[in-house]
Amino acid sequence: MDYWRLLVKLQTDNWCTLPTAMGEFRMYDTTDDNISVICIGDIKSQGKLPLLRIHSSCRASEVFGALDCDCADQLRESMKNLVFEGRGMIVYQQQEGRGHGLSLKITAVRAMEYDNLDTAQAFEKLGLEQDIRTYAEAVELLKQLNISAVRLVSNNPRKHQYLSDHGIQTQMVNTNPNIRPENREYLFTKNEKLGHMLPLEASSYESEPVYFYHSDQPWGELSNFSRHSVFIDGVIWPTTEHYYQAQKFTHEVHRESIRCASTPMLAKSQAYTLVDQFGRNDWEAIREDIMLTALRAKFSQHPDVATKLLSSGSRKLVERTTNDEYWGDPGDGSGQNRLGELLMKVRAGLTSQVSSVSVLMEYH
């Protein structure tokens, strides 16, 4: 650890704003170009048990958009979670190929492609340890901030164990993989052979709930952040989230500003900034009616997402989140899940319409 103290020294007074499509972060100087730190808010005021993601670089997915892993997905999801909570940090480390570097990573991926191997078999063939990453830098940064306990956003028990062994208590926060044809085998191999704990078992049985949250995850079409515009009261809104957040205000200037936000997350963030000073007094009384208006517009104006909603049958719909106990639920029934309830109401209306059309067609 003394070695890292010579290299990594967080400069808490040297930071810049990092505006992103998900929200506004701060980027801090670590005095080491191989280690980056971003956070929401003042890094010295993160409170108890802040969210922490220790993320290893993946040039293929993060820069070039490769689809055969989940690295970029995990980074984006972690950033979203930080923005929703309003605090937390990401330590980004240059540790390609589970610590072996980019050259050996390319060799391993080539072996996977040409020899039909999974990621664990490719490393074995090359005589490589499966994972040689260390997190001493992150531990040192946490200790410089006097942080001794975190909620670690990771599916990797090795990462949790490393922090625990070096004096940082951790609680596990899973990321939710976006399973694609290109990365499906890779994700299951991480669980089966590398000991990861990715929640890969999709709810596909009629008796099980449909869980949704991020717009780029399974069932993401149900999210208010999904990229489906709605036409309401003569105005086009980029997403239902844009419409919902704008209705918190009566002044047109505030509504229009939120409507023009480049992403739904920025629309939400902007509304939160303005609502205490300019928000309408009757919001809690009307918010569900506003949400229902937005949802009905979305699913009536986009037949593809209406079909997706109807495909859920009679399954319970749950916005799975720990960030909003009113609109969502963490999956244990402790939240009110009002968004899920309203979606089921919209689904019932669509089902009734489909049944009525079927009856008319049979009659004629």
This prediction's pTM: 0.73
Summarised one tens digit per residue, pLDDT across range 221-277 is: 999 999 999 999 999 999 999 999 999 999 999 999 999 999 999 999 999 999 999
* Per annotation, catalytic residue among 133, 158, 180, 280: 133
Q: Mean pLDDT throughout 159-184?
A: 91
Mark whether 133 is an active-site residue. Answer: yes
List the one residue out of 146, 168, 175 whose CA is nearest residue 55. 175
For residues 302 and 357, what is the distance between their CA atoms, to the nearest angstrom? Answer: 18
Q: Which of 131, 151, 255, 347 is catalytic?
A: 131
pLDDT class for 41, splitting at 50, 70, 90?
very high
Catalytic (active site) residue 131: yes
- Tell me the per-residue pLDDT of 317-341, one tens digit each, with 9 for 90 and over: 999 988 899 999 988 899 999 999 9
pLDDT at 215 over 90: no
Mean pLDDT rounded to a whole number for the chain: 91
pLDDT band at 198 (very low <50, low <70, confident <90, very high): confident
Q: Which domains does the chain have, with CATH numbers?
A: 15-95+133-194 (3.40.50.10990), 210-240+282-362 (1.10.357.40)
Q: What is the pLDDT of residues 45-83, one digit of tens each?
A: 999 999 999 999 999 999 999 999 999 999 999 998 898
Above 90 in pLDDT, residue 2? no
